[in-house]
Structure formats: structure tokens, C-alpha cells
Structure 1
């Protein structure tokens, strides 16, 4: 999957600036077309002042919709649904959004705009938290060895062909408080290492450049595994699948993914993996 058209959502606030800047950087590095989206929140039968909105969009993006490959879209209706619908065209490769509402645990569970978009987008969603100073040189991808995580990693490898890829897996000893013998941890780690070796071979078979990917096993939780991977390059792109293969699942996206979006201070690409798990 190449990056052809990037949709960028903005509410005209400063918190959307990093999404806009990342979209512009992808235009420069990947030659992507840009579709800037501002949902008006107006009823569909109440037309917006497109002239005023266009002027404002030019100011916040620094671009003109008369330029080749630049489009401004002002859909009506509820912003989350309007954004998702504006990305439904087949030519959109990904949506870039700011972190916006990922501020508190309660806010997340109440159902935010970001959460709605992640649930209703079939295309990858890039949550831009960092300044877009350069193209991504490194990808840090988490895996639970599921079909879904393999799909997410392969998708990212194809979208960002020049980025090095490092894959991490978090492991722990079940019922650790009762498991005092060191051999139990050794057995669990050995099993995880065998699973990682098989996983790496499988994804390399499907996408040749992943034969050069590196990997690591971290005895901790998923967030700490990603954080350790980010020590290689704090400006790296984190890649996760929208759903894991096990554990509690929220109605929206997998609980591990939602935890990472709140906890990790890095740009994060969420790849929809629901179809991959069928």
C-alpha cells in the first residue's frame, strides 16, 4: 500500500497543527495529495459559508486549494461521522488527526471524536503528537503474534518503505506472585522467543523487506515495551493494530491499543485489523 492521498482533519485549533504539519511533510516526502477536512457541525440542510471556511483553511494550512493535489472539504453533521464519511472514498490512504481528546481516562470511555473515527475508519489512522521535523526514519511496532498485528506491520512497512522496522513483544510470567522459581520465567521467555522467531519468518515471507527488521522481547507491559523501543529513536512512528488477539476488548478498539494511545508520547499509526482477524 503506497501513500497516495492523505486526509487531514482540523478543527482550526492549535491542537490540530501537528496533524496539518505531518500531512504537509507526507506531501513532500511521499508526493501525497492532501485532503483537508473541517466538519462544520451544521445540519445538512444548513449550508456553510464555504468562502469564509476556505479563507480560514488557507490560513491554518498555509496552502491554497487551487494548488495541484490540495483539496478542502467542509462536510456537515456531527464532526466524527463527517470526518469518517469524508475519508470513505477509495483514494484515501490514511487519515491524520491530532490527539485532541486523549486527555483523561473518563473522557476516553465516554466516547470521543478520536475513538469514533478509529471505530469507523477502515483506512489507517495516524494520531500525530510530535512535530513533523522529518520523515519517519524508524518504525516501532508492537506485536502479540496475531494475524492482526502481522497485518498492521506489513501495512506500515509498505506505506513507509524507507523506515527501519523494530518489532517488540511484551511478555510476563502468569500468576507471578506465586511463581518464585526462575525456571518458570525462563520457560515463558523461551516460548516467547520461539513465537517471535516464527512470527518474524512469517511476515518476512509476506513482505520481503521485513527480513531486515529487528526484534526484542521485553518482560513488562505493552506500553513499556514500546517505550523501550522508542529509545532507539524518540521520533519514531509507533504502529499498532486496532484489535489484539486476546484479552478484554472494548466496544471501540482493543484495550491495549487505547492504553497506548493515551500513554505513549509518539506519533501512532493505528491500522484497522478487524478484517485481518476474520
Structure 2
């Protein structure tokens, strides 16, 4: 990862996004772009007033970005560019990230008013719809390298991409690869299946263990396999993953944006959105 873009909304918590982005850029020796988008809806459309308001907003945002950079440790202030743009935030950020060929987009926890969020979704959720690169949602802040990572897998292409992005983002971290299947989906078939419940569960676990081994061999470089441990759990998916994050003390949770489909497999599916409203730690989501 050589080009990082951090979406900075200049609200409370922006310093956490900038601190994490700058630390990652220094760790990965990457170029960092801080981008603030002035929502075009904030600019009045009377010509002379619009020019005046836009200029003041741009000047204020530029100064605020500079203050955030000045607050960083001296060794992290290099290789940072600042951009103040006008437009619709999700579309403008996605377009800028594509223009810069960014490898990663960082954002904070953005929330709209409850009624707006019901119909439009959060800014982060809309970003994920428009961006092709992984998105890192900074929830807890901090600038120390990630030491413990939990990556959920449902064996989809999306979860493969997310795991690879997580390994690149945390090159020294220990990684717990987790797959969760839900027993209630199996039990509905038992009236037509003579196999005993325990035996069926054991059979399912054995099959999933084989899938995990295949995933490790096909999608993970040999150098990274030594730092990955695996866990196969049954139960309610979000609860199980959250428990692993808390028990392991992970600073980063890695998820795929699109889940794998198919009734023949018990999969974690797409949980990314459900974790973003109250993330247990930083969350990395990839398509």
C-alpha cells in the first residue's frame, strides 16, 4: 500500500483518523492525502454570496487540515498532501481516490440524523458502495501499529480480498481467521436427515476446516501463514465475531463487503454494515 487517502470531515474525532492515517503512512512508507469535501448543499446559490461563502469555507477547511497536520509527531508530517474539494462527499471522495489510485481509504464514524440515516445510510456505507479500494473505518484511534487482527471469512472473493488487505496493512500482526456457522440453519433439515445432531455438526466442522486449509494454501502467501491461527465457531455470527475480537484484544477487524451465497454452505455473509454503527475496534472492509 503506497497511496492512502483519509476522508476528514473536521468534526469531533477527526484527529483520530488523521493520527491513524499518518502512522500507517509512516509505517508503510506511503504517500498520504488528507481530503475534506465541502458539501455542495452548504453553499448558497446566489452567485455573489456563493463565491464568498465558498471562499470562507475553503479557507477555514484548509487551516483546519493544517492544524491537524501540525499536531502530528514531527516524523509523520512528511509526504502528506491536503485537498479541499466541493461536491457530494461520498461521490467526490470516491472520485478523488480513483484519481489518485489510492490503495486504501480511511474514514471516521460518520452519522446522519436518524431519519436521514434510515433512508440514505451513513456516509461510510455510501462510500463503500462507490469505492473499489478497501475502506478502513477508524473507531478507537491510536497510532501504534496493529498487533492483533481478527479476520472473518466466508470463503468469498470479498473476504479473500479483505484478508489480503489486512495482512498488508498489519504486516507484523498476529491474525485470527474466523469462520462462524449457525446451527439453527442445520437443525431445520434434521426431520429429513437421520444423522444425529452431534454427528452432523462434527461433519460440518470437518468440511469447514478443509475449506480453511484450502483458503490458507491458495490465497495466503507462505510467509504470512505462520502468523495466522484459525477458529471455527458455531452460533450467532455477529455475537461470535465480537466475542473473538474482545477476547483477543484485537485492534483491527477485517470483513468482506459481499458475502458468498448458497444454501449448501453455512456462511457468515455480509456483516460489514452491522459492525460499522458501533465498531468494537477499527474495521477494514474490502469488496
Task: Decide whether the 8 Å contact of 1:166 with 1:215 is kept in 2.
Answer: yes
More helix by percentage: 2
RMSD value over aligned CA atoms? 2.9
Where do residues 127-166 of structure 1 align in structure 2 (5 Å cutoff)?
127-166=137-176
2:207 equivalent in structure 1? 191
Where do residues 8-87 of structure 1 align in structure 2 (5 Å cutoff)?
8-42=6-40, 48-49=54-55, 50-62=58-70, 68-87=78-97
Task: Decide whether the 8 Å contact of 1:12 with 1:60 is kept in 2.
Answer: no
What secondary structure sits across from 2:167 in the alignment? helix
Shift of 1:176: 2.8
Task: Decide whether the 8 Å contact of 2:245 with 2:280 is kept in 1.
Answer: no
Separation in 1, partners of 2:281, 2:173? 15
198, 218, 226: which is aligned to 2:241? 226
Separation in 1, partners of 2:210, 2:250? 30
Does 185-194 or 95-104 show the bigger shift? 95-104
Shift of 1:18: 1.8
What secondary structure sits across from 1:162 in the alignment? coil
Where do residues 240-251 of structure 1 align in structure 2 (5 Å cutoff)?
240-246=255-261
Does 154-163 or 124-133 show the bigger shift? 154-163
Separation in 2, partners of 1:10, 1:57? 8
1:251 equivalent in structure 2? none
Does 129-138 or 95-104 show the bigger shift? 95-104
- Over 3 Å counting, the alpha-carbon distance change for 1:63 and 1:17 in structure 2 is closer
259, 262, 270: which is aligned to 2:277? 262
What is the aligned residue count?
A: 261
Separation in 1, partners of 2:70, 2:12? 14
TM-score w.r.t. structure 2 length?
0.80
What secondary structure sits across from 1:161 in the alignment? coil
Output one character per residue of 1:197-237: Cα deviation in whole Å (capped at 9) or x when no partner.
22222223xx2223211100011233233223324542421
184, 194, 197: which is aligned to 1:181? 197
* 1:113 has 2:123 as partner: yes
Q: Based on CA coordinates, which of the two structures has the bigger radius of gyration?
A: 2
Task: Decide whether the 8 Å contact of 1:170 with 1:217 is kept in 2.
Answer: yes
Q: Which runs of 4+ in 1 moved over 4 A?
A: 43-47, 102-106, 177-180
